[in-house]
Amino acid sequence: MMFSSIFLFWFLQNLVPFYSFDSSQCYSKEQRHLYHDGNVVIAVFVPLYHMVHDHPINFTGNISIYTGCSFRIIAYQNYLSFIFAIEEINRNTHILPNTSLGFDLYNVNSNQWDTLEAPFLCLTGTGKMIPNYTCRRQKNVAALLTGASWTASAHIGRLLNLYKYPQVSFGSFDTILSDRRQFSSLYQTAHKDTSLPHGIVLLMLHFNWTWVGLVIMDDHNGAEILSDLRGEMDKNHVCVAFVEMIPDNVSSFIFNFVTNSQIMISTANVVIIYADNEYLSGLILYIDLYLVNWKIWVMKSQWDLSVGKFIFMLDSLHGSLIFAHHHVEFSDFRKFIQTYTPFKYPDDHYLAFAWNKHFNCSFSGPDCKILGNCLPNVSLVMLPRNAGKVDMSEESYNVFNAVYAVAHSLHEMIINQVQNNSQGNGEVYTNPWELNHFLNNMHFKNSAGETVVLDPERKLDAEYDIVNLWNFPLGLTQKMKVGTFYPKAPQGQEMFLSDHMIQWATGFTDLPRSVCSESCFPGKRKSAQEGRPPCCYHCTQCPHNEISNETDMDHCVRCPESHYANTEQNHCLQKTVTFLAYEDPLGMALTSLALSFSALTAGVLGVFVKYHHTPIVKANNQALTYILLITLTFCFLCPLLYIGHPNTGTCILQQSTFAVLFTVALSTVLAKSVTVVLAFRITVPGRLIRWVMISRFPNFIIPNCTLIQLVLCGFWLSKSPPFVDSDAYSKHGHIIIICNKGSTIYFHSVLGYLCFMALGSYTMAYLSRNLPDTFNEAKFMSFSMLIFFSVWVTFLPVYHSTKGKHVVAMEAFSILVSSAGLLGCIFVPKCYIILFRPHRNVLHHVRNKVHSR
């Protein structure tokens, strides 16, 4: 693996000489320091070059095999922005009039061991580093601009803090650098990134990415962003698949990257990378070299896109999404780029190499100069895309604002000096530390109309452009803006994305998915896996009559009583309202039986009225017979109250009518039984028996028994009467309208009273079964009471085990059966004799039968 990597880098090195100076001819002319005189000088420290010492991979994003100097395009953009700002201010008559700005540009090595070399050289003003001593022939530097990584700014800041030198950082905002106890004279032009974790999580939610990896620097920034990201992810149910912390000493990280890295083995297709440009470039380069495809990279920074992107046909970074600070492009900057040529700026060695390589200019290698013979009217904008884009980047924009912040502060300080007449001769005199007061309070609007604030307490959160990276063969790269994130926008409107414009990473033909578990579709719910993050779950079917109508629901929702769950359990359907209707087969059958038996009973009554003079009709109290038949006629009609749509009236009539009619019928049977017993059992009646017979006591049984039942019904209706109710659970998909009995105690009391009367009638009839009765009426009455008692005793367990409208049908059927038992056992034998055996229904036959017994 190591030899293949060395060969690959050697091959790249020979393909891209544009990015490495010729060490034998031009290394001695490396552009480490540029100075341009002015009334006031601003120093800037930019890592334009980087020394490479026999390492195949340098984590700052440079490729080299041998000792040499690698050029950084992203730092060159900062340099161009700095020169553009200086020249624009010098032309502006409203800022620092009659005062020219000069600059002192230093290349700062990204190696932290060499970081303080350039600041010492700047402070001493000689080619040697002599602390606490200056021999500058030029004017003192008013302020120093630093950037790229926070570590470089921090190292330089601790040195400059000793002398109270104003320092303006153009790198990403850092909380440590805003600590006035450590860095009392350090200011930052970048906006805060405190809202970025929220924006990243909103992006995850937009694409339903709930299983993502994190690659973060192992420093205070990494700890802060990890805490903020985890907090936002936990609130929005996004899980962290892994966390890779990049240490300061990255050699071990690189060594284990391919074999042990969670990036390579994790199932998460989305990886969030949060690091400084210095380290980010190296990490991205390594990912690129090993073709880590099938991953969506989400980043918060830009890096040097031009490094190492010349031969890869399948680029690992294609489809990446970048949160870039939103800023307005300057139209004048484009014009500046078009006029920036090696003839106008002969000290810029990069231009000389670029013109020589791409525009066929004659080139002097030893002194890095263009001799002529160039194509006419060429400029930086005409360079190939793989030679580096020279548009204004985030850091370049911050450099521009940093220069203007210093210029505005100088302007206010000079006005203050003039007003206080501190210098009688009118000469501008600046001590660098005097500028701190004005820088700390500086806020202004730049030429793009955006407010720049240096005080960290008053800084606003950054606004972001969401950029999609498109890579093409031969290193052609296009950054396409596909969305925005505005933290101050109303909730729900912070992020806008044009999904159709996004090109996804190599290997994805559609919207990528990054989940720990596949989605639970409607009808199922998520069930947590023990010991795993919440995003890892099983899918469980919803319980009975519960639904889930969305994907990945945590809980199922129970359908209301008026609805039921469909088969797929993803929708609640309206239940059908039903009841024991006349149109139902069961209702039609019960109606037919009720009307038929009622008509039959009326027919029997007619027969008895027609043959009222016969002995069989006259026997055993003719009036009681008529009362019983009339009552049975209405008993057979009682089931009609149980059929049809219930209402309050029918619900009350069902129970009261049933109770009263059957009480009258049973009391009539009881009176007939008592009459038989008194007639045949009392052979020598005493005074009491004679009184009972004369007073017709059996006739009072009916009203007395009925009165007791009426009292029970009265209490029932006054305390807890029956009412219309609905049963939504007995039959799936149906709501059954039924009559609720109200008080079950009173219902069972009424039914128990009827059974008690039936039992009493049966007892009396049983006692008289062997009496010399010509027509066996006592036996038939005992059979009828036995049938009645059996029906209603059987009814109770069936009533409690049946649901829905079958309960209603069962009660109506019990009324019919018990009534039919009374009719059949008592009156059918008599009708048979009356109609088919008339010879037995004569007085002579009756007397002969009695004498024979």
Its pTM surpasses 0.85: no
Cα separation, 271 vs 320, in Å, equals 10
pLDDT band at 588 (very low <50, low <70, confident <90, very high): very high
pLDDT in tens, 282-329: 566 666 655 566 788 898 866 655 554 444 445 667 888 999 888 887
Q: Is the pLDDT of residue 569 over 70?
A: yes
Q: Which helix (H) or strand (E) holds 74?
A: helix 73-91
What pLDDT score does 403 carry?
Answer: 94
Asked if the model's pLDDT at residue 847 lies above 60, the reply is no
> Residue 65: pLDDT above 70?
no
User: What are the pLDDT digits (tens) for 147-173?
Assistant: 777 778 888 888 888 888 899 998 888
Which is nearest to 199 in space by CA: 328, 326, 323? Answer: 323
Which class for 552: exposed (0-12), middle (13-18), buried (19 or more C-beta within 10 A)?
A: buried
Which residue bears the tokens 């990912």? 287
Buried b (16+ CB within 10 A) or exposed e, 455-480: ebeebebbbbbbbbbbbeeebebebe
Over residues 102-122, the pLDDT tens digits come to: 888 888 776 655 677 777 777
* Rounded mean pLDDT, 178-195: 87
3-state secondary structure of 691: helix
- pLDDT classification of 15: cutoffs 50, 70, 90: very low
Q: Which residue has the higher pLDDT, 521 or 677?
A: 521
Q: What is the DSSP string of 50-72?
A: EEE-S-SEETTTEE-SSSEEEE-
CB-based contacts of 330, cutoff 8 Å, min separation 6: 84, 392, 400, 447, 448
Predicted confidence at residue 365, as pLDDT, reads: 67
- pLDDT value of position 470: 83
Question: pLDDT digit string (tens) for 389-448?
Answer: 667 888 889 999 999 999 999 999 888 888 877 554 445 556 788 888 899 888 888 888
- C-beta of residue 261 within 8 angstroms of C-beta of residue 244: yes
Estimate to the nearest angstrom the gap between the alpha carbon of 524 and the chain centroid.
Answer: 15
What pLDDT sits at residue 83? 93
Q: Give the C-alpha separation, 667 to 662, whole Å.
A: 8
Angle, alpha carbons 188-431-414 (nearest 5°): 85
Top pLDDT among 344 and 254 is at 344
Task: List, in order of start, the domains of the chain with CATH numbers.
Answer: 32-47+72-193+328-458 (3.40.50.2300), 196-327+462-501 (3.40.50.2300), 524-574 (no CATH), 585-852 (1.20.1070.10)
Which range is most confident: 5-14, 48-57, 677-686, 710-719? 710-719
Contact 231, 197 (CB under 8 A): yes
pLDDT for the residue 691: 56
pLDDT band, very low/low/confident/very high, at 852 (cuts 50, 70, 90): very low
Please report, in angstroms and rounded to a whole number, the separation of the first and last CA atoms in the chain.
Answer: 127
> According to the model, what pLDDT value does residue 429 have?
55
pLDDT exceeding 70 applies to what percent of the chain? 77
CB-CB contact of 442 with 413 (8 Å): no
32-56 tens-digit pLDDT: 678 888 888 898 888 876 554 444 4
Rounded to a whole number of angstroms, the CA Rg of the chain reads 52
The pLDDT, as a whole number, for residue 466 is 93
User: Which of 457, 442, 355 lies closest to 401 in space, CA to CA?
Assistant: 442
The H-assigned helical ranges of 393-478 are 394-420, 436-440
Q: What is the 3-state secondary structure (H, E, C) of 795-829?
A: HHHHHHHCCCHHHHHHHHHHHHHHHHHHHHHHHHH
pLDDT value at residue 12: 37
Q: Which has more confidence, 107 or 647?
A: 647
Q: Which amino acid is at 542?
A: C
- pLDDT score, position 682: 54
Taking the mean position of all CA atoms in its chain, how far away is CA 320? 25
* Amino acid in the structure at residue 303: W
Q: If pLDDT is split at 50, 70 and 90, which confidence band does 10 have?
A: very low
CA distances from 194 to 6, 170, 203 (A): 41, 17, 16
pLDDT at 28: 42
- Give pLDDT, residue 618: 75
Q: What is the pLDDT of residue 233?
A: 92
Q: How far apart are CA 253 and CA 350, in angstroms?
A: 33
Pick from 124-133, 374-383, 433-442: least confident: 124-133
- How far apart, in Å, are the Cα atoms of 654 and each of 57, 275, 643, 733? 95, 82, 10, 27
Task: Quote the distance between the C-alpha of residue 381 and its chain's center.
Answer: 47
Bridge pairing between strands 49-52 and 68-71: antiparallel
What is the average per-residue pLDDT within 795-811? 81
Q: Is the pLDDT of residue 4 over 50?
A: no
Weakest mean pLDDT among 179-183, 422-426, 551-555: 422-426
The SS3 call for residue 523 is coil
If one compares 9 and 469, the residue with the highest pLDDT of the two is 469
Q: What is the pairing mode between strands 524-528 and 537-541?
A: antiparallel
pLDDT higher than threshold 60 for residue 252: no
pLDDT confidence bin for 82, thresholds 50/70/90: very high
- For the chain, the average pLDDT equals 78
